Amino acid sequence: MIDPVASDDQGGDHTGTLRVVDPDAAALPLGELSAQRGDGVFESIGVVDGHPHEVGPHLERLAHSAALCDLPAPNLAQWRAAVDRVATEAGPGESVIKLILSRGVEGGPHPTAWVTLADAPDNTAARRDGVRVVTLDRGYPLGVPARSPWLLLGAKTLSYAVNMAAIREAKRRGADDAVFVTTDGFVLEAPTASVLLRIDGRFVTPAPSAGILHGTTQLSVFAHLEGRGLQAAYETVPVADLARADAAWLLSSVRLAAPISAVDGVPVAIDRDLTDELNAFLLARRD
């Protein structure tokens, strides 16, 4: 657990503001709004052999989500100290650190904050064989995020029921995952991942202005591609581009780069060499 009111100092040693709790024991009060309403924000950080990836971008996105939800600004130095402390418990292989910031107890004086560590699921098959996706209508047109900020589109909130329902619907349709699209025909994101397309040699991902999360793994992949002299850009992506792309991926902090093998039952070619290259790069990063 993190004491969110112990220090406003953005530097210095914050280890004294951290408290280790038994994950199997009671830790949150019944009035905790994360459980009652999903009223909070979170981040998931991939960890490889004890090294957490993209900590800075994840903390920046945590702060962005907190601001969108009118939560107190997190002390990023304190959160980084918590990540560093938890990472010391990670063993070899892949793990995931989760950061959770809740509004706390209803009527309480301060938010609740905690960090957890768990083994990552085995994503070998998704990285090797790809994932089949279906397109699902997100229920709003492209311009809604700018007109309706109270919908919290673009914030990584604890209210993930819709995202999980979308994945269940995808599996009911014989697929592995979903890609959300707008009612007026534009690609958004997957429930837990960014979408990357290669079209005529250019790499594109939907612009974050569409009310989607700005993917931390996508940022790393863009930097890698641009370092190789390839073009990578944020664009408004029509749904038709999913069909005409010569390769496509879902990018996330834990699954990393999973090639899309089919869209709505139509096969998509997998670029095995580039997929292997991207995952080798992502696994080898050091924050």
| DSSP string covering 31-99 | TBHHHHH--EEEEEEEEETTEE-SHHHHHHHHHHHHHHTTPPPP-HHHHHHHHHHHHTT--SSEEEEEE
Q: What are 130-156's pLDDT values in tens digits?
A: 999 999 999 999 999 999 999 999 999
Residue 29's pLDDT band, with cuts at 50, 70 and 90, is confident
3-state secondary structure (DSSP) of residue 22: coil
| Between 7 and 119, residue with greater pLDDT | 119
Residue 21's pLDDT band, with cuts at 50, 70 and 90, is confident
Is 9 inside a domain boundary? no
Domain count, the chain: 2
Average pLDDT of the segment spanning 177-186 = 98
Angle at 122 between CA 180 and CA 62, to 5 degrees: 55
CA–CA dist 146, 149 (Å, integer): 6
Range of the domain at 99: 15-119
Is 6 inside a domain boundary? no
Is 257 inside a domain boundary? yes
Is 148 inside a domain boundary? yes
CA–CA dist 160, 167 (Å, integer): 11
Taken as a whole, the chain contains a residue count of: 287
Is 3 inside a domain boundary? no
Q: How many CB atoms lie within 10 A of CB 134?
A: 20
Is 7 inside a domain boundary? no
Please give the radius of gyration of the chain, using alpha carbons only, rounded to the nearest integer. Answer: 19
Which residues have a Cβ under 8 Å from the Cβ of 84 and sit 6 or more positions away? 52
Whether 12 has a pLDDT exceeding 70, the answer reads: no
Whether 44 has a pLDDT exceeding 80, the answer reads: yes
| Between 109 and 189, residue with greater pLDDT | 189
pTM score of the predicted model? 0.93
Nearest CA among 175, 180, 173, 198 for reference residue 249: 198
